[in-house]
Amino acid sequence: MNTALSFFEYSKTIWLMLSKEVFTQKIAKKIKTIRESKNISQEELAYRAGLYRTYIGHLENARYSPSAFVLYKIAEALQVDYSTFIK
């Protein structure tokens, strides 16, 4: 069995990795923009969502990619529809 990736498979893998990075950056920007528009601190958002403040900071700086459940908790805490983050 050959474990080497073909050029096509390699290119597809690179594209998928980059798209996750771009997705994470877009989510990060939306969280921060909505939070700031509602004049809520990272600490307050973390409290409302049941998360750590440092985790909110990592999300807003696109260091972490949130799970669907975390996005749901943040949407509830910000009082926005969950789909706001994935449009």
Closest alpha carbon to 40 in 82, 80, 69, 86: 80
pLDDT for 87: 75
Instruction: Output b/e per residue, 39-78; b: 16+ Cβ within 10 A.
Output: ebebeebbeebebeeebbeebbebebbbeeebbebbbebb
pLDDT in tens, 18-75: 688 888 999 999 999 999 999 999 999 999 999 999 999 999 999 999 999 999 999 9
Listed in sequence order, the DSSP H helices in 2-82 are: 7-37, 42-49, 53-60, 68-78
Which structural domains are found in the chain, ordered by start? 24-85 (1.10.260.40)
DSSP letter, residue 1: -
Contact 50, 73 (CB under 8 A): yes
The structure's pTM equals: 0.78
Q: For residues 17 and 68, which has the higher predicted lDDT (pLDDT)?
A: 68
